[in-house]
Amino acid sequence: MTNSTKEELASWYDQMLVIRGTEKAAYDLFMTGLVKGTTHLASGHEAVAVGASAALKPEDYVWATYRGHHHAMARGLSPEACLAELMSKETGACRGKGGSMHLTSAANNMMGSYAIIGSHIPMAVGSAWSAVLRKTDQVSIAFFGDGATNIGAFHEAINLAAVWKLPVIFICENNLYMEYTPISAVTAVQHPAADRAAAYSLPRIVIDGNDVLVVRDEVAKAVALARAGGGPSVIECLTYRHYGHSRADPAKYRPEGELEEWMMRDPLKVLRARLVESGVSEDEITGIEHAVDAVVKEAIERAKDAPLSDISEAFTDVWADGGMQWRN
């Protein structure tokens, strides 16, 4: 495992705390009626997003699922822009049009969150192909859940990427459940992404998705391979969501004790322990935690105070030329 500086570890801890705090705020705002629709929280997945992002350049592409708050913020979206988007506010990342399930930050090359399972995986392949055509060294990452591995688009995308040796990395966030169904109940292999990689002449890679350093190191190797023309990689990150599938899901289907067992491997606890091991004092760690708490609280209040998006926003950014009428 590659060593990291105390500064790097502290920066990742800060990022992961901001993501965790913003998602807790999203939960609370939803419960008070300020967030409409639904939300799919990624609390417990923070190390995957932050670790992978640490291995990327700003110009690289990221594609995510509807459970994508952590990916957007890991790529630079502010907590305020995230929460304002969830509350349909003018200051939201997409000025209120995307909401929780379509969170996008194109300025950070976070190319969107997609509600149709697996639909974005071929899009990531497309952006990788565009990088080849434009002769840049950009790579693309497609994040997806374990359930998407049983979708045809997953297999079609990986096959094409492998045949053309495209600079794309497929990262499965295996949290054991596809919505309410254990992935093991509907999949013939133990590891739904990694165990299928061999079908496309790719190595089997399964890692601890709750350790940000492990994620950063493995993704960095895959990125280096992709930039050098070595083609795609499939990485399966073992992790766990702390909440149910969505805000309507109390997660009663989980076996007794399973959540508690995984909470002992909470990615924030794992990284906090690494900070202590690296010589960061408890006072310094507490200082980071208090600073993040203040940042999230301010983001909540600023998002609440922001004006709702005007109805005219429904017609902006719809067509490439800015128009709203069908053309022949």
Give DSSP secondary structure letters for 31-54.
HTT-S-S-----TT-HHHHHHHHH
Q: What is the mean pLDDT of residues 133-146?
A: 97
Task: Give rounded-to-5 percent helix, strand, coil for the chain.
Answer: 50, 10, 40
CA–CA separation, 278 and 5 (whole Å): 8
The residues, any chain, with a CB within 8 Å of residue 239's CB and separated by 6 or more, are 44, 45, 47, 48, 173, 174, 175, 209, 210, 267
Residue whose C-alpha is closest to residue 218's, from 52, 72, 60, 74? 52
CA–CA separation, 318 and 270 (whole Å): 43
Task: Output the pLDDT for position 261.
Answer: 95
Task: State yes or no: pLDDT of 222 exceeds 60.
Answer: yes
CA–CA separation, 297 and 311 (whole Å): 28
Task: Output the pLDDT for position 171.
Answer: 98
Burial of 113 (0-12, 13-18, 19+ CB in 10 A): buried
Tell me the pLDDT band of 11, cut-offs 50, 70 and 90.
very high
Protein fold of 6-306: Rossmann fold (3.40.50)
Average pLDDT, the chain: 94
Residues 275-286 as b/e (b if ≥16 CB within 10 A, e otherwise) read beeeebeeeeee
CA–CA separation, 56 and 49 (whole Å): 11
Task: Output the pLDDT for position 325.
Answer: 59
CA–CA separation, 321 and 307 (whole Å): 27
**H-helix or E-strand containing 290?**
helix 282-305
CA–CA separation, 194 and 198 (whole Å): 8
Q: What angle do CA 202, 207, 212 make, to 5 degrees?
A: 125
The residues, any chain, with a CB within 8 Å of residue 117's CB and separated by 6 or more, are 65, 145, 147, 148, 151
Q: Looking up tokens 């295996």, which residue turns up?
A: 174
Sign of CA dihedral 192, 195, 201, 202: positive
Show the tokens assigned to 168. Answer: 């794309």
Q: What is the mean pLDDT of residues 217-227?
A: 98
Tell me the pLDDT band of 312, cut-offs 50, 70 and 90.
confident
Task: Output the pLDDT for position 323.
Answer: 57
